[in-house]
Amino acid sequence: MRSALLPTCFLLSNLPLLLAQTATPQEPVPAVPPQAASALPQGALPEAAVPQGAPEVVASAPAAAQDAASKEAAPKSAAATKVSYSSCTVEGQYLAMTFDDGPHPQHTPRLLDMLKQRGIKATFFVVGQNAAQYPEILKRMAAEGHELANHSYSHPILNPLGEGGIREQLDKTHQAVLSATGVTMKLLRPPYGALTENMRRWTYQTFGYRTILWDVDPLDWKVRDAARVQSEILGHARAGSIVLAHDIHKSTVDAMPETLDALAAKGFKFVTVSELIAMDKPAAPKPAAAPVAKTAPKPAVKPTAKKDAPAAPKLVAAPTKSAPSTTSPKAAPAKSSAGSSVKAEATVSTPAPVAKKPAKMTDEELRKRWLESINR
């Protein structure tokens, strides 16, 4: 999503990217690949965008027969299929390196060299307008065994676009990649990781795309520091991980040789996302009553703020009592004065809902942030 330290020429050459939708004519949008057309429910866009870096797995039933499911477009099959992944459960030290937002004319080929030297296969979630601009790089990716996947055409927040807009974004990228390489992509990573569960099902049924998020996010678009990118990845990678990175940033690519070598030294083997998914063995839903504790929810990159104990109803009443004074929902640093005990509790519990979900950004803010980062 981001880029930095880029020479002016790059910025200029990428101006079209910044103009979003506009760019590259590209052929008319033909009917798309697999599955039957969807006469699905859902056309509206419910939930807010998933905050960046907050992977989320669709709560659909664990994958059973992926192939079988992908051949039946029936809503039921999709409902029974796992259509979204942020990591996998695999036997062995396998993980998938993924690179978003490219291809980039300089950084991506450099990365491809590094991968080639090490015999590593990665997955590239390409932005369609870049793909259309650098078909040769796409060809090279495909020729060298990497997986190509869809990251939209102009990197918008998809949800607000509705089915029609999303279809156009995915279609145009599909065409760009197909015409350059002959490859029909199987995976989608929505920009900012934002796509509602309903739309994830819809894209699966309509395009055959599974939605791929991540469980390791070095925030490389933000932290333009190769050493930190490396340490973040090394610190969080585990078997089955899907590592998010961006091949449009010099610092990210700079970090790769040592990162990849260190991962390999730790015993990790690199596979594409589709290969990782093929190895996925969803934890068997152990029937017994056993303590659930063992299967701790996947180690998130960052321990999301713990929920505080739900505020007791009495706390709600408290503020009322102490006068509607200082309104702010965010409990300010407690001022001693009124009933200290209530205050204390209130101070503890009030911030909870706020801190729980880190920075909820609006769609526009997400988009703006991305555009800014590209310019850095």
Binding site for Ni ion (CB under 5 A): 1, 100-101, 191
| CA–CA separation, 236 and 244 (whole Å) | 11
Task: Identify whether 225 is a catalytic site residue.
Answer: no
Task: Identify whether 246 is a catalytic site residue.
Answer: yes
Is the Cβ of residue 202 or residue 370 nearer to Ni ion in the bound state?
A: 370
HSE, CB side, 13 Å, CA atoms: give it for residue 101. Answer: 27
Instruction: Kindly state the smallest distance separating residue 336's Cβ from Ni ion, in Å.
Output: 47
Q: Which of 246, 247, 249, 254 is catalytic?
A: 246
C-beta nearest to Ni ion: residue: 1
Is the Cβ of residue 1 or residue 277 nearer to Ni ion in the bound state?
A: 1
Is the Cβ of residue 100 or residue 215 nearer to Ni ion in the bound state?
A: 100
| CA–CA separation, 160 and 170 (whole Å) | 14
Instruction: Kindly state the smallest distance separating residue 125's Cβ from Ni ion, in Å.
Output: 7
> Contacts for 114-118 with beta carbons within 8 Å, 24 or more apart?
114/253, 114/256, 114/257, 114/260, 115/144, 115/146, 115/260, 116/144, 118/260, 118/261, 118/264
Instruction: Kindly state the smallest distance separating residue 369's Cβ from Ni ion, in Å.
Output: 11
Instruction: Kindly state the smallest distance separating residue 151's Cβ from Ni ion, in Å.
Output: 6
| CA–CA separation, 339 and 362 (whole Å) | 37
Is the Cβ of residue 38 or residue 52 nearer to Ni ion in the bound state?
A: 52
> What residues contact residue 140 under an 8 Å CB cut-off, 6+ apart?
109, 112
| CA–CA separation, 185 and 187 (whole Å) | 6
Q: Which of 100, 101, 217, 220 is catalytic?
A: 100
Instruction: Kindly state the smallest distance separating residue 57's Cβ from Ni ion, in Å.
Output: 19
> What residues contact residue 171 under an 8 Å CB cut-off, 6+ apart?
29, 30, 32
Is the Cβ of residue 101 or residue 254 nearer to Ni ion in the bound state?
A: 101
Run of H or E including 97: strand 94-100
> What amino acid positions are annotated as catalytic residues?
100, 246
